A = this chain, B = another copy of it.
Amino acid sequence: MLARDPVASTVFEVDRLTLDYPSAKGPVRAVEDVSFEVAGGERLVLLGPSGCGKSSILKAVAGFLKPASGAIRMHGQPVRGPGPDRIVVFQEFDQLLPWKTVRQNVEFPLRLAGRLSRAEVRERADSALRKVGLARVLDSFPHTLSGGMKQRAAIARALVTDADVLLMDEPFAALDAMTRSQLQRDLLELAEEIGFTLLFVTHSIEEAILIGTRLHLLSPHPGRTITSLSTAEFGYADLGSRRLETLSREVHDILFSRQPAQEEALHG
């Protein structure tokens, strides 16, 4: 049901990626030997237990983390650093710039791009903010927003940009069921309309199946690929259906029961 470019070429590629963080006791491995390719218009969802390296992979693709080994390529070129072609929605609540109002925050990337007139920028920002339900607080500063409102503003800021690639790190985690499903739909609609490529992190398996055209499952410590599966044929119409539920359960089982050795004992 999703409109996909039949001859989609690879937009970015993560090739045997290993990520280390330095620590007092030497480097700590966060991600090991993870590979995937994402074609234009595809929506890849990273799924895995907390701390398995999803955010790290996302940051590496964004150009913030240099691989300890392996490579990340955009359109065949190695990623050299961050850039506005890959817009990130971070997991953190403090990603809005505190010295800008909500509206200014959303206008910020458009202003920087400098392709639109002031009026157009304003109009786009306001309409994006209306979509995420923040019309009431356009001129408020971020520190007066609730957690969910901050995340929504950050989502709006990413969505106005027309970036080719969006990297979203648990963008809907702080949202109520209603807003969440509304924004999921909006995101899908926009994806079809504009055709951006998406790398998405979530903890909700259902959300992953609905949003993603493909799931990439990771095991923890360090993050390694378990498997990758296509979910392109699932869409909102399947909500509550048997087969979505089955797939959900399956994914859950792959993620959490097949690697007892690698998983840390959660209880005791």
List A residues at the B interface (Cβ < 8 Å).
21, 23, 28, 47-51, 55, 91-94, 127, 130-133, 135-136, 140, 144-149, 152, 170, 173-180, 182, 186, 203-205, 221, 252, 255-256, 264-268
Q: Decide: A255 and B50 in contact? CB cutoff 8 A.
A: no
Q: Decide: B149 and A177 in contact? CB cutoff 8 A.
A: no
Contact partners of A152 in chain B: CB under 8 A: 50
Distance (whole angstroms) from the CB of A155 to the closest CB of chain B: 12
Q: Decide: B255 and A178 in contact? CB cutoff 8 A.
A: yes
Contact partners of A182 in chain B: CB under 8 A: 266-267
Q: Decide: A177 and B148 in contact? CB cutoff 8 A.
A: no
Q: Decide: B50 and A130 in contact? CB cutoff 8 A.
A: no
Query: With A174-B170, A203-B174 known to touch, is A51 a contact of B149 (CB < 8 Å)?
Result: yes
Query: With A92-B147, A144-B21, A146-B50 known to touch, is A131 a contact of B178 (CB < 8 Å)?
Result: no
Query: With A178-B256, A266-B179 known to touch, is A91 a contact of B205 (CB < 8 Å)?
Result: no
Distance (whole angstroms) from the CB of A190 to the closest CB of chain B: 12
Contact partner of A205 among B131, B135, B177, B203, CB < 8 A? B177
Q: Decide: A147 and B170 in contact? CB cutoff 8 A.
A: yes
Contact partner of A133 among B148, B180, B266, CB < 8 A? B266
Contact partners of A268 in chain B: CB under 8 A: 127, 130-131
Q: Decide: B50 and A175 in contact? CB cutoff 8 A.
A: yes
Contact partner of A266 among B131, B146, B221, B256, CB < 8 A? B131
List the 7 closest A-B pairs by CB distance, nearest first: A50-B148, A178-B256, A176-B203, A51-B146, A91-B147, A49-B176, A133-B266
Q: In the complex the two chains form, what is the Cα distance from A136 to B28 in whole Å?
A: 12
User: What are 21 residue pairs bridging A and B, where the CB atoms are less than 8 Å apart in the complex?
Assistant: A21-B144, A23-B140, A49-B178, A50-B133, A50-B175, A50-B176, A51-B145, A51-B148, A91-B93, A92-B147, A93-B93, A131-B267, A133-B265, A136-B264, A173-B173, A173-B174, A176-B203, A176-B255, A178-B256, A178-B266, A186-B267
